[in-house]
Amino acid sequence: MKSVLKLLTILFLSTASAQQKIPDWFVENMKASTGTWITDNTSYQNQNEPFDQYGMHWDWSAGKQNITGKLYGLINGKKQGVLWEFRQYWDYGKNRGVIVQYGADGTVGKGPLTLKKDQISELIQEFVAPNGKKTIHGHRSTLKDGVLVTTSFDIDSQGVWQKRRTYTWNHIENQNSMN
């Protein structure tokens, strides 16, 4: 009888402590995101934003449970420095995807990443600047056949989305894939 109780206790504890499974859509999103992406910025280029292109590079972390990325500006194909750093992970406590990003100026943004209809992912983040000012921004993205289309939005206090920019990113390499 003691053996049976011991076995049942072990089974219960191992089931209770088993790691939740990250949803397939989220794993596929991370897998498809890894590598290097480049987009044209000439439509938005100005004195304060001299970059003719932007680049992003995403890698798997050890254990392949999350990915980290960097966004950088390019002028004539040369990197000009990292503007944002990212981490995309599954928050087991809230049972949702999250992206956290850190700006070169000290601004931090964090928020949930969800999958909407028609394979559109939606990210809503609260950003806090070094002066304490808080803003809400959103992104809607589609990723298909090595092309990522992202549209950024400002979100006001009433929850109204105001479109800012749309970029089409081309996938130029895929390193550290999960294959």
**Higher per-residue pLDDT: 177 or 3:** 3
Q: Using 50, 70 and 90 to split pLDDT, how confident is the model at 117?
A: confident
Give the 3-state secondary structure of residue 102: strand
**Residues sharing a CB contact under 8 Å with residue 57, sequence separation 6 or more, in sequence order:** 35, 36, 37, 69, 70, 72
When pLDDT is averaged across residues 18-31 and rounded to a whole number, the result is 90
The pLDDT of residue 3 is 62
Arithmetic mean of pLDDT over the chain: 90
When pLDDT is averaged across residues 115-125 and rounded to a whole number, the result is 93
Q: Is the pLDDT of residue 26 over 70?
A: yes
When pLDDT is averaged across residues 64-85 and rounded to a whole number, the result is 98
In the chain, pLDDT over 70 holds for what percent of residues? Answer: 85
**What is the pTM (predicted TM-score) of this model?**
0.84
Could you read off the pLDDT of 39-50 as tens digits, one per residue? 999 999 999 999
**Residues sharing a CB contact under 8 Å with residue 56, sequence separation 6 or more, in sequence order:** 36, 37, 69, 70, 71, 72, 169
The owner of tokens 């280029």 is 45
Q: Is the pLDDT of residue 59 over 90?
A: yes
Tokens at 5, concatenated: 């109780």
Could you read off the pLDDT of 150-161 as tens digits, one per residue? 999 999 999 999
Q: Using 50, 70 and 90 to split pLDDT, how confident is the model at 178?
A: very low
**Residues sharing a CB contact under 8 Å with residue 153, sequence separation 6 or more, in sequence order:** 137, 138, 139, 140, 161, 162, 163, 164
The pLDDT of residue 176 is 45
**Residues sharing a CB contact under 8 Å with residue 25, sequence separation 6 or more, in sequence order:** 115
Q: Is the pLDDT of residue 171 over 90?
A: yes
Kindly list the structural domains of the chain, giving each domain's residue range(s) and its CATH number in brackets, ordered by start. Answer: 20-173 (2.40.128.20)
The pLDDT of residue 145 is 86
The pLDDT of residue 146 is 86
